[in-house]
Amino acid sequence: MNKRRENLRKLTLTALFAAVAVVLELIITFVPGLNLEMPFGGRVFGISMLPIIILSFLCGIGYGLTGGFILASVNVLSNLNLIVTWGLTPAALAGTIILDYMVPFTLLGLAGVVKSGKNPKIELLLGTLLVCGIRYVCHCVSGLVVFGELAPEGMNVWFYSLIAYNLPYMASSTALCVVVGMFIIKPISRYYYQLIDQQSSDNQDEDLN
C-alpha cells in the first residue's frame, strides 16, 4: 500500500511539474521581451527546462524522463503549424521533430542521475549542465543534418550550427536554469521531504488505528 501511495504521489508530481513547464513555455512564447527566439526555434529564455530538471531530482530519472516526454510532446504539437512552414522534406521534418524536440526535451529527465544528497546546489548545477549539454548536442546535430543548407553564404556549416546558431540561446537558457534552480532547489526539496515525512506519519497512525 505504501509503495502504491508513493508511486501515485510521484505520478501526481510528474503531471504537476510537466504542467508548470508547459505554462512557463507559454509565458515565454507570448510575453513580450521574454519571447526572444532564433528563426528556426530556440528560446533565449528557456526556463521551461527547470521544472523537469527538478522533477528528476525529487522523484528519480524515470519520472523525470516521463515529464520530459510530456513537455517534448506538447512542444511538438504547439509548434507543428510553424514547423511545417519551413518547407522541410518529410525526412527533414521527422529529423527536426526527433532531434530538436523529442530527444533533447525528454532527456532533460536524466538530470537526477548525479544526485547523491550531499550538496543539492552543486548537484543541480552538474545535472543541469549535463542535460543542457545533451540538448545542445542534439540541436547541433540537427543543425548539421537538417538545417546545414541554411548557413549564411561563406559560413562554415559547423561554425553555423555549433557557434552562431545554437550556442547563444543554449548558453543563456542554461545559465538562467542554473541561477534560478540554485535559489529554489533547497526549499522545494525541504518541502517535498517534509511532505513525505508527514504522509508517512499519517500512514503509521492509520495502521495503528
pLDDT average per 10 residues of sequence, the chain (209 residues): 82 96 94 91 95 96 98 95 90 95 98 91 96 98 92 93 96 97 91 74 54
Residue 147 pLDDT: 92
CA–CA dist 137, 58 (Å, integer): 26
Task: Please write the tens of the pLDDT for every residue from 4-38.
Answer: 888 898 999 999 999 999 999 999 999 998 899 99
Residue 191 pLDDT: 84
Task: Please write the tens of the pLDDT for every residue from 127-142.
Answer: 999 999 999 999 999 9
Cα 101 to Cα 27, 31, 74, 89, 195: the distances in Å are 18, 22, 10, 17, 33
Cβ atoms within 10 Å, residue 202: 10
> Where along the chain do its domains lie?
10-23+46-199
Phi (first) and psi of residue 43, to 5 degrees: -75, 135
> Residue 171 CA to chain centroid, in angstroms?
14
CA–CA dist 25, 112 (Å, integer): 22
CA–CA dist 104, 42 (Å, integer): 12
CA–CA dist 73, 48 (Å, integer): 14
Q: How many CA atoms lie within 13 A of 29 on its CB side?
A: 12
Residue 209 pLDDT: 54
Residue 201 pLDDT: 60
In this structure, are residues 123 and 115 in contact, taking their beta carbons and an 8 Å threshold? yes
Q: Would you tell me which CATH number, out of the four given (1.10.1760.20, 3.90.1150.10, 3.40.50.300, 3.40.1170.60), belongs to the domain 10-23+46-199?
A: 1.10.1760.20
CA–CA dist 52, 197 (Å, integer): 23
Q: How many CA atoms lie within 13 A of 113 on its CB side?
A: 11
Residue 204 pLDDT: 55
pTM: 0.91
